[in-house]
Amino acid sequence: MAATSGAREVFGTRAGFILAAAGSAVGLGNMWRFSYQASEGGGAAFVLLYIGMTIILGIPLMLAEFSIGRAGRRAPVGALRKLAGPGWGRVGWLFAVGPLLILSYYSVIAGWTVRYAIESIATGFPEEAAEHFGRVATGQGAIAYHVGFMAATLAVVMAGVKGGIERASLILMPALFFIVVGLAIWATTLSGGAAGYRVYLQPEISALSDPAVWRAAAAQSFFSLSLGMGAMITFASYLERTHDLPESATIVSFTDFGVAFVSGLVVFPVIYSLGLQGAVSESTVGALFIALPGAFESMGLVGHVVGLFFFVVLAVGALTSAISLLEVVTSSVIDEFGVPRKAAAVGVAVTAAVLGLLPATSLDALGLMDKIAGEFALVIGTLLIAIVAGWVARGTVTDELLAGTSPFWRRQVPRIVLAIRYVVPVLIVIVLVFSSGETVKAVRDFLGG
């Protein structure tokens, strides 16, 4: 193992860390995945389950990652080795391979959002939204935007924790919050949006009896909170011990939920006011990339402006998340092989860009990668983290949860540790049983069809 030379970089401000973690969490998951899943899972019923999962599973797991990262002061591989032993260090490579795979297709989707943002003002969206999406989503255009987006992500990560990641988050995240809220206010002026609000906000109770909806809500909360991929371990490894971890985890989780919820207040009324509801659950990408551009186009000039803001928000959210994905892998390469930051970041970004050629040419491949890396590997990752934090390194994790923490949160620490030890792993195993079946089916479908 190569030790890193010199002191480890640290975040300069409390807000910088919180916004960077929120930047990782808030992304395509909040807008693209959330609205699709909510429309599949009975609207508000899914939303309620989702907020429950965020509190019961999400916050304890985020704290588990924060504590492992800050105690280990290393990227996931090194942090797990230090806290739990060499075997766990090897297992920790999952937290490099997983994020690398997610980054490769995430950047492809992010590329579409950039292209749509540009088109909304430059040319407008063509009439035949579905065919246009086909041209945007695969082939040379998709590859070009994917590579461009990866280059932007790389530029930030090369500039380091304070000068790159923290600075970008401090500027981009407040802008994103502001625009999302503005869009939701604008959406209230749409005639015919009421049906959309109804579907979104009135629970369809029967959906709760479907275990698939529970699994989807749990998996969605992991993906959206960037858990199970080592992102929060990595960011916390750049933190001082004076930082209040439980308070930050709560702020980050509720911010993430808030942005997802408010995005739903944009997507649902727009789609329903134009009678496009069928398109939402038609395909994973249908809602955002086919129905919405079509809707914006039919609104004339207003639609162009709103479309621009909407896709800019998506692109910005995607950028801050992609930054965290690239940083996780880069930090492991820096820590484990002693490679300087810039070279490590370039190497990882180029690898992810090449891997992304597959999802940039096939939507089926993209969907499959999302199932395997974005859902299955992520759930395995959360289970490993719960085991390390709750069982293998419980003492260290408990100390870490208490250090720098306010009296209110100190009193909650025993409860948080109990959740990490028992509640979280049991629920994850249940989710895993369902996800395995789904993943196997997805792989079969892909190979067979």
Q: Please, which residue, 223 or 272, has the CB nearer to ligand PHE? A: 223
Q: How far is the CB of 345 from ligand PHE (least distance, A)?
A: 16
Tell me the C-alpha distance between 222 and 54, whole Å: 8
Residue 54 contacts ligand PHE per CB under 6 A: no
Residues 222 and 58 sit within 8 Å (Cβ to Cβ): yes
> Which part of the chain contacts ligand PHE (CB under 6 A), choosing from 51-59, 196-204, 308-316, 318-326?
318-326
Binds ligand PHE by CB under 6 A, chosen from 36, 149, 223, 261: 223
Q: How far is the CB of 221 from ligand PHE (least distance, A)?
A: 10
Tell me the C-alpha distance between 159 and 157, whole Å: 5
Residue 226 contacts ligand PHE per CB under 6 A: yes
Q: Please, which residue, 25 or 315, has the CB nearer to ligand PHE? A: 25
Binds ligand PHE by CB under 6 A, chosen from 19, 21, 22, 25: 25
Binds ligand PHE by CB under 6 A, chosen from 28, 266, 393, 432: 28
Residue 324 contacts ligand PHE per CB under 6 A: yes
Residue 314 contacts ligand PHE per CB under 6 A: no
Residue owning tokens 């509640």: 423
Binds ligand PHE by CB under 6 A, chosen from 53, 63, 325, 431: 325
Q: How far is the CB of 406 from ligand PHE (least distance, A)?
A: 27
Tell me the C-alpha distance between 425 and 435, whole Å: 15
> Which part of the chain contacts ligand PHE (CB under 6 A), choosing from 5-13, 47-55, 300-308, 320-328?
320-328
> Phi/psi at 198 (nearest 5 deg)?
-60, -50
The 10 Å CB-count burial string (b at 16+, else e) for 291-317 is bbbbbbbebeeebbebbbbbbbbbbbb
Residue 27 contacts ligand PHE per CB under 6 A: yes
> Which part of the chain contacts ligand PHE (CB under 6 A), choosing from 85-93, 187-195, 226-234, 393-401?
226-234
Residues 67 and 303 sit within 8 Å (Cβ to Cβ): no
Tell me the C-alpha distance between 72 and 239, whole Å: 11
Q: How far is the CB of 323 from ligand PHE (least distance, A)?
A: 9
Task: Report the interface residues with ligand PHE, using CB under 6 A.
Answer: 24-25, 27-30, 99, 102, 223-224, 226, 229, 231, 321, 324-325
